[in-house]
Amino acid sequence: MTWWLLTFSRGGPASYLSHLDTARAVQRTFARAGVPIALSQGMRPKPRLSLPLPLPVGAAGYEELAVVEVPDGPPSPAAALRELRAAAPPGLRPLAIVVVGDQHPRPQALEARYACRLEGDAGAVRAAVERYATEVSVVRERVSPKGRRTLDLKEYVVHVAAEPVLGGTRLSFAIRYRDDGAARPQEFIDLIAAWAEVEPVMRGLERRRVIWRDLPPGPSPGAGRSVSS
Amino acid sequence: MYEIGISNPGLQILYAYLNDATPAAAERAYCPWPDMAALMRAYDVPLWTLETIDPVAGCDLWGFTLPHELTYTNVLEMLDLAGVPIHAAERGEGQPIVLGGGPAVADPWPLAPFFEAFFMGEVEHRLDEIVEALAAPSRALRLQALAAVPGMWLPGVSERPAQRQVFTAFSRTPPVLRPVVPVLEAVHDRAIVEVMRGCTAGCRFCQAGMWYRPVRERPVDLVVEAAERLLAETGCDEVSLLSLSSCDYSGIEEALTRIRALRPGVRVSLPSLRIDSAAEALGGFAADQRGSVTLAPEAGTQELRDAINKGVDDAQFEEAVRATFGGGFTGLKLYFMIGLPGETDADVAGIARMAATAVRLAKEIGRGRARLSVAVSSYVPKAHTPFQLEPFAGAAVLRHRQQLLRDAMPRHVRINFHDVAASLVEATLARGGPGSDRLVEEAWRRGARFDGWSEHFHFATWEGAAAATGIELGAAELRSDETLPWESAVDAVVTRGFLADEQARASRGELTDDCRDGSCAACGVCGSGVEMDVLP
């Protein structure tokens, strides 16, 4: 078996897909392209494809990653990429394929860079960002069907910046992924909006870059046996 | 609700034909869920089409597929969200002509004032004429041209009922080969090949069985070629062979075998299984598809099954259940109706006995791993069926029989009932006459939407609307010697005499043979170029 790391962008109408729907759309792109994916064993075989870092609904992703196991004798990555691009639905664009051995560790996200636009008083948003920088700890409670959990946003959200743009503020930040989890982009945006007393309505949330552990070197991502646009 | 709407194969047919074969550009819009509708109103955003994000109000023609009565308030909701006056009489030049179609137009009266026109029956072969009519230079001329299209009924304009249209070229026409493929999970997330249209089993409660006559089958080669093309075009790994009763499709075994051989991992599903042929059909399923099976005995005793012309006996039922659990399937769902004409408490007790038989076989054969559930719906008499004159059983009777079943049902069987109150509303609208539109409008004005969804159905809303309009819920006083309300709008081609004869046979417990077996029951459909078209 061979593993492929496929990078792709998600934008436009595809931004509104859920994580599972994005995975299904990528899988069906492979099927339409005639590029086989290896199946799991057992009574109900499933395609061996995963997206290691879910992208929030409504967010665009510049460089998303899919880990795909292909059966023996796969097409060349260059030919596959060509076919995948032709078969991809609007908003999903395959960017590059990196071939890795089956012993290679699966990539793990370390940090992701986000940006969005917040509407309202830019000065107030900038003040909220400055306040965040000076706080030692910003603890928030997360309520989910699994229960309640507190997390300190300062441990996860870094590199925060605010830049005034027409009608609002461009807010950029990075989220660190740790063994104990991560903050969600919306949690941080809600915090800044609350401190700035602006509506927590953001436009154009983008994940611009992800830093991975155990990713082979090369262009977007990886070199070696890779094909990219 | 895109996830549901995109799964409608009828809409895919219309969309593909209009865009591929006519000068028209067809776009789609679906009824938004109430939270979205509230936001659209708050921000003054009119309903738009998905393709070009243009306001729906700018279309020349707005076609609605009407699958069943509990979607009627959604029509008004969509018109209002689009900024289109809900009454046809208030619409003018520059506003869309609103056209209804689909199985629920079998009685168009509850929606009549909201539509300019209704199309009765299968529309594939009339789409060119409809598009051509839209080229007329004014709204009045467009309506005049539409009125001349066979199958079209214009409330207040048409002087005669419209004859239900039959797509006679069905068998030689390929299914939709380039459907819209949703990128999010639809409720029916698979490629669809319609293998057969119509059903001649003759179940007396079934409106679709009467409305889509006669049976027409597509050749197996056409079905397999379509399946292969659809798998490649959509990326799906499952093909559904669609019809009202796919086990009755003459080429079913060959089609199943050849489609499974197309490529590894392809799954084929059948939307419905007949009990008398389930054992054979179940044997053909691949090991990885052996999940849950649905069987529909419909009624609990032989007498009542004969009365509804279901014609399944206890031995066939046992054989089907044995085949289910013996074949490695882990779940069985049994589907029944209560409130059928002539039903007694003893018939309802029979449902529990059949469930008990299934439980016993599940223990014997399924070795404790098998799950069993029973779904019980309330029968609603429908227009153009042999039971069209029968009274609705009523809420009190239905609740009593639901309780009987709860008490008699074996333990460990999950039982689901349809909401009696929703059935009461459905029964009111299914045979509503002129004036029944007032109930729909009043309910919508009081907030009724998505009435087919239990979380959105509020009976108090409908009770209030009924009180305000003076319409009694569930009542339909129909007499056999009068013209029935829907008969003034639509000629379903199945004759009144045949339906009356079938009603009489039901009361005597007599079965009527499937006409594909050679015995014509003289339903009135065949003739004048319309014939049954089955594989040799």
pLDDT digits (tens, 9 = 90+) for A12-51: 999 999 999 999 999 999 999 999 999 888 767 788 999 9
pLDDT score at A222: 40
pLDDT band of A55, cuts 50, 70, 90: very high
**Which tokens is B241 given?**
């062979």
Q: How far apart are CA B409 and CA B374, in angstroms?
A: 9
pLDDT digits (tens, 9 = 90+) for B142-155: 999 999 999 999 99
pLDDT score at A46: 84
H or E segment at B163?
strand B162-163
A214: left (phi over 0), alpha (psi -120 to 50) or beta: left
Which residue, among B530, B525, B529, B507, has the nearest Cα to B515 in the 3D structure? B525
Q: How far apart are CA A9 and CA A15, in angstroms?
A: 10
As a whole number of Å, the CA-based R_g of chain A is 19
Mean pLDDT over B124-148 rounds to 96
**Which tokens is B19 given?**
């865009």
B477 CB burial (10 A radius; 0-12, 13-18, 19+) = exposed
**Which tokens is B40 given?**
């659209």
pLDDT digits (tens, 9 = 90+) for B72-84: 999 999 999 999 9
B482 inside 8 A of chain A by CB: no
User: What ipTM goes with this model?
Assistant: 0.79
Q: Closest residue of B to A57, CA-based?
A: B184
pLDDT score at A218: 55
**Which tokens is B316 given?**
């066939």
Residues of A in contact with B369 (CB under 8 A): none
pLDDT band of A226, cuts 50, 70, 90: very low
**Which tokens is B314 given?**
């206890």
Whether the predicted pLDDT of A59 surpasses 70: yes
- How much is the mean pLDDT over chain B? 92
Q: How far apart are CA A82 and CA A88, in angstroms?
A: 10
* List of E strands, A60-188: 60-70, 92-100, 108-119, 139-144, 147-152, 157-165, 168-176
CA distance, residue A45 to nearest chain B CA (Å): 8
A41 inside 8 A of chain B by CB: no
Give residue B306's identity as a one-letter amino acid code.
Answer: D
Closest in B185, B237, B288 to A43, CB measured: B288
H or E segment at A28?
helix A19-33
CA distance, residue B186 to nearest chain A CA (Å): 10
Give residue B372's identity as a one-letter amino acid code.
Answer: L
**Which tokens is B48 given?**
């738009």
Closest in A13, A14, A31 to B235, CB measured: A31
3-state secondary structure of A211: strand
Q: How far apart are CA B188 and CA B203, in angstroms?
A: 26
pLDDT score at A1: 74
B233 CB burial (10 A radius; 0-12, 13-18, 19+) = middle
Q: How far apart are CA A55 and CA A59, in angstroms?
A: 7
Interface residue of A24, A30, A84, A199 to substitute, partner B, most B CBs within 10 Å: A24
A160 inside 8 A of chain B by CB: no
pTM of full prediction above 0.95? no
A211 inside 8 A of chain B by CB: no
Say yes or no for a CB contact (<8 Å) between A87 and B181.
no
**Contact call for residues B155 and B110 (beta carbons, < 8 A):** no
